[in-house]
Each structure stands twice: as structure tokens, then as C-alpha cells.
Amino acid sequence: MFLSSCLSENSEGHLTIGGVDVPALAREYGTPLYIMDEDAIRSTCREYRKAMLRHYGKNFLVAFASKAFCTKYMYKILAEENMGADVVSGGELYTALKAGFPMNRVYFHGNNKTDDEIKLALSSGVGRFVADNTEELSRLNEIAAAEGCVADISFRIKPGVEAHTHEFIKTGQIDSKFGVALINDEAFDFAKTALGLKNIRLVGVHCHIGSQIFDIDPFVHAADLMIDFISRVKSELGYEIAELNLGGGFGIRYTEKDDPKQIDEIVKSFTSAVLKKVSENNIKPPFLVIEPGRSIVAPYGITVYTVGSVKHIKNIRTYVSIDGGMTDNPRYALYQSEYTAVLPERINEPATETVTIAGRCCESGDLIGKDMKIPPVKPNDLIAVLSTGAYNYSMASNYNRIPRPPVVTVSGGKSRLIVRRESYEDLIRNDI
Ligand code: LLP
């Protein structure tokens, strides 16, 4: 049983992704190497859209959270799959723009957008500003006035819902830097202020409770609270907010222990909560937006490395050093995330060893994982780390001046380079 539907094995006992031999890709493009299965990503986009259509009707948008994996080619896939995109910086916005992505389907997030970013977003015709705070709202109003336009906004609400996930990736609680709270009338006052501004049109409300969440209840709870808020604004301010954005956060499998729910089941749960609540409160079903990131790409990406050394420290542990590490996957260093590693050249060999996979930075915490189960390895063997399609390439760095790996997609049995390997020249390009 493979961790992800895009992985399999061939007659040579090699790992395949999207039917393509992984050791052959490693030979062709070198290591470290990110490989993504484009067909699986596309079918997951379709699965989300089909589930929304089935359970909610046509009034929806699935906006991929670009922060999970942002490249021009990804925006091309998203545009073709009729997806929207959540962007969170001028850089992501610019990438979407340069990829020719339809900007009216872009949601611009961020808890501290700069004036330059706001101007870029306005001039490029971004679909929605997801305003975070009142200071930003008044800056946006002023900039829109100066540019002679009206900004369509949604704003981020902290619903105060507890999501059971890592502390650093929880965002729906009141003690968070993002958005305005439902309690103490913060959100209500925000809506009132927005409605009084000439160059702002209040279109929607947004919440995002966290990431890598397996439990459906927090999403349902958040949806209920958000509809209650829309109803309150309608009854007390006489204004019906037309759009509800419930964010992303749906969990995926990093190891055999993870047991995420099916997309259809998740979508059915929160859409039925929304539909039930709107009919109770006698308001129109809002245009419903969701922003899955991780669940669209993480399972369909792997990273392939070459082993450099195997260091046995008697009675302590075995370190397997690879030619990448925290610079291409900082998630163990940041969140102690667990991953699954396999040997793509000998996929059927039993995982009899317990090893710590270490990167090559001058940093003891530069690990892919501690006590991982893999078959015996030796220098020059390939190691593939699975489910690295989200928050790996997008969070990669050049610490220790290590160039970032290339990204290759596979589709219909063929590979395509979508991001080149960084060169040393790239590393010094901005040095003066
Ligand atoms: N929408 C908003 C407003 C968000 O802040 C996020 C994620 C998403 C959607 C997408 O959430 P997803 O479906 O990917 O869970 N770097 C961390 C994850 C940080 C997520 C931040 N926001 C990690 O590697 O786990």
C-alpha cells in the first residue's frame, strides 16, 4: 500500500510517480529533486469542484492557497481547472499575474499588506482584498480613492474555534495575529466601518481556522458562527454579506498513522451546515469560497535525494546524510513534522533500519526526521521523502548558500521541468 494514490512500483522494483520511474528522473534531472504528479493535482482540483457542485450548487469557488506551492506553471494548471487562487504577498500575486492567471479569481490575503502591494493588486484587477485590520482598511480606502476605484473586500474573522493541530499552524483562535475577533464586537464594528467607506465595497467574510486538520467538527462550527455573523449584520445593519470564505486546512497523509477524510465527505459536512444555517436564519446561501492548499498538492509531490554518508553512533543512533535537508524541507525543523521515506531503487525491501535523516546545513536541527524506518542504505543510494508537494518548495531557502532544487512535473507518463535548479550565479545575482 502506497501512501499516495500517485505512487506505485514497476517491474524493476522501482518507485513510480504518475507511472514514471523515479530513479530514471533522478538520473535525468539530478538530486535533490522535487517531483509533482500534475495529473493527480488536476484530478484533486476536479474532486473539490465536483464535491462543491454536488453538495452546494454552482455558487462557489475553490481557490488554491498558493502559499502551499507557488510557481507559474501551477497557476497555469489552476487556470485550466477553473480554480481561483489565494495569494498572500506581492510576490505570489506577481507570479499569478505573469502566468496570465485570471486576476478576478484571486483573493489577496495578508495581515500586513504594504501600500505597494495594495497598489499592484488594485492595478492588476485582483478579485478580492481580504482585509485583516482597520488600519489596512483605511489605507486601502485611501489608495483606492487615489486610484479612482472601489475595492471589493472580504475581511478575516477569528471565529474562536479550536482546531486540533500544531500550535504554529492554528489560526482561528482569538490569540492570533490574523484578522478581527468575533467576540467583543470587533468583527461587527469592522463591518460597520467598512460599510461607511466610499471606496470599499463589503462583499464577504473570511475565516481560516488552521492547517492539517483531520476533524470535521471545527469547520462545521466555524461555518455556523460565520453564518450567525452574516445574519447579525443583516438584521442590525440592514446589509446582506454575499460571500463566505471558509479558508482551507484539510489534513493529508504524511505517514501511515494519518487518516484524513475524503474530500467529498468534508465538503458535504460544511456545505450542509451552511445550507441548514442559512435556511434557519432566513438569509440567502452565500457565494461559498474555500481555500485548500496542502490537500491539493502535498500528497502528489515527492523529494528525491542521494545519500552521502551513513554514520552509526554505537548505541545512540544512525545518521543518514542526504544532499538536501532543511533548505528544501524546513518542516521538521519548524514543526517536528513526520514524514515517510522510501528507497526508490528498492521499493520492496523491508524497512528494517531506524535512522535519522540529516541534511547538509551547519545546523544540528537540520533533519528530515528522527527515527525513521527505512531499509539498509549506503552512500549513493536514492532516498525519496513522500508527501512533500506542499510547503516544501514554497518554504525552501538558500541558507548556507545552498541552491534550491528544480521542480519537475509528470503527466501522461512524461516529465517536464517547471522550475530550473538554482545555480551559484543565481545565488549572487543581487549581491553588489
Ligand atoms: N487560507 C488561508 C487564509 C491560509 O492562511 C491558509 C494556510 C490556507 C488557506 C491553506 O491551508 P491548507 O489547506 O494548506 O492547510 N507552513 C505550514 C502551513 C501554514 C499554513 C498557513 N495558512 C506547514 O508547512 O504546515
Dist CA 426 CA 424 (whole Å): 5
* Boundaries of domain holding 412: 7-37+299-427
Residue 104 lies in a domain: no
Q: Decide: 427 in ligand 1 pocket, CB within 6 A.
A: no
Last-in-domain residue among 292, 324, 349: 292
Residues 6 or more apart whose CB falls under 8 angstroms from that of 65 comprise 85, 86, 248, 291, 292, 293, 294
Active site residue 361: no
Burial per residue of 183-212, b for 16 or more beta-carbon CB atoms within 10 angstroms, e otherwise: eeebbbebbebbeebebbebbbbbbbbbbb
Return per-residue pLDDT of the chain as tens, 432 residues: 799 999 999 999 999 999 999 999 999 999 999 999 999 999 999 999 999 999 999 999 999 999 999 999 999 999 999 999 999 999 999 999 999 999 999 999 999 999 999 999 999 999 999 999 999 999 999 999 999 999 999 999 999 987 766 666 566 678 888 999 999 999 999 999 999 999 999 999 999 999 999 999 999 999 999 999 999 999 999 999 999 999 999 999 999 999 999 999 999 999 999 999 999 999 999 999 999 999 999 999 999 999 999 999 999 999 999 999 999 999 999 999 999 999 999 999 999 999 999 999 999 999 999 999 999 999 999 999 999 999 999 999 999 999 999 999 999 999 999 999 999 999 999 999
Kindly report the CATH number assigned to the domain that includes residue 288: 3.20.20.10
Dist CA 18 CA 26 (whole Å): 15
In angstroms, how far is CA 11 from the centroid of its own chain?
34
Together in a domain, 352 and 403: yes
Dist CA 96 CA 70 (whole Å): 9
Question: Phi-psi category of 200—alpha, beta or left, where left has phi over 0 and alpha has psi -120 to 50?
Answer: beta
User: Which grid coordinates are listed for 193?
Assistant: 466601518
- Which residue's CA is minimally distant from atom 15 of ligand 1? 249
Dist CA 267 CA 218 (whole Å): 13
- Which residue's CA is minimally distant from atom 6 of ligand 1? 248
Together in a domain, 329 and 422: yes
Together in a domain, 188 and 310: no
Last-in-domain residue among 265, 292, 319: 292
Atom of ligand 1 nearest to the CA of 211: 15
Residue 48 lies in a domain: no
pTM above 0.85, yes or no: yes
Dist CA 366 CA 359 (whole Å): 5
